[in-house]
């Protein structure tokens, strides 16, 4: 969509909903959107342009945590985090805790134990969601990313790993 198409959509939605967001928005498009809609906020890493209500939404119950295997997974994870926050959830972020440095994940076991839902983003071989699901007693949403080198095949390898996981509670 063009920036002006997004502006028109956001104007219509703003009249009907307290939160409006457009995803996968470039910095250039966000500048055009913000020129037309000064109330719009741009979340650069998440690539989200959003309009929030003047009165914050009530905090939703539950603890949502988002984890990444590596720093290359951050844009995808931030998209999930900002989306959840715009919907009223409190989010705990745990970045760069992949299986290549499993000690970083295990030293943050309390985050897993205290969460009601975990979203886990990983590229490369996509092993982190299975490891986390093996440690967690809550649902784990596995999110493959298209980052990595070698045989990651632009995200196909992590997707297949996540689909083939034998860990319970993973989706």
Express each pLDDT in 111-138 by its tens digit: 999 999 999 999 888 889 999 999 999 9
Domain assignment of residue 139, yes or no? yes
Q: What is the pTM of this model?
A: 0.89
State the pLDDT at residue 141: 95
Q: How many domains does the chain have?
A: 2
**Residue 77 is part of which domain span?**
64-164
The stretch 94-98 carries a mean pLDDT of 93
pLDDT per residue over 14-26, tens digit each?
A: 999 989 999 999 9
Contact 69, 130 (CB under 8 A): no
State the pLDDT at residue 28: 96
State the pLDDT at residue 147: 76
Same domain, 99 and 120: yes
Domain assignment of residue 169, yes or no? no
What CATH number is associated with residue 102? 3.40.50.1970
Domain assignment of residue 138, yes or no? yes
Domain boundary among 51, 72, 90: 51
State the pLDDT at residue 46: 96
State the pLDDT at residue 123: 87
The stretch 64-87 carries a mean pLDDT of 94
Closest CA to 70 of 108, 102, 110: 102
Domain assignment of residue 170, yes or no? no
State the pLDDT at residue 54: 81
Which tokens sit at 136?
């967690």
- Where does residue 19 rank: exposed (0-12), middle (13-18), buried (19+ CB within 10 A)? middle
pLDDT at 148 over 80: no
State the pLDDT at residue 11: 96
Same domain, 113 and 75: yes
Same domain, 91 and 25: no
Same domain, 83 and 46: no
Same domain, 21 and 89: no
Beta bridge partners of 126: none
Same domain, 41 and 125: no
pLDDT top residue among 36 and 70 = 36
Domain assignment of residue 143, yes or no? yes
Domain assignment of residue 57, yes or no? no
């Amino acid at each position: 969509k063009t920036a002006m198409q997004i502006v028109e959509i956001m104007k219509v939605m703003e009249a009907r909903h307290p939160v409006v967001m457009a995803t996968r928005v470039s910095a250039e498009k966000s500048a055009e959107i913000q020129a037309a809609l000064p109330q719009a906020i741009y979340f650069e890493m998440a690539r989200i342009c959003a309009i929030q209500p003047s009165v914050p939404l009530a905090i939703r119950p539950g603890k949502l945590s988002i984890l990444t295997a590596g720093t290359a997974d951050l844009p995808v994870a931030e998209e999930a985090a900002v989306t959840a926050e715009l919907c009223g959830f409190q989010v705990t972020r745990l970045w760069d805790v992949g299986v290549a440095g499993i000690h970083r994940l295990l030293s943050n076991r309390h985050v897993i134990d205290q969460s009601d839902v975990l979203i886990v983003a990983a590229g490369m071989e996509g092993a982190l969601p299975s490891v986390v699901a093996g440690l967690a007693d809550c649902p784990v949403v596995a999110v493959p990313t298209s980052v990595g080198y070698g045989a990651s095949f632009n995200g196909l390898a992590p997707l297949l790993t996540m689909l083939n996981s034998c860990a319970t509670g993973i989706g």
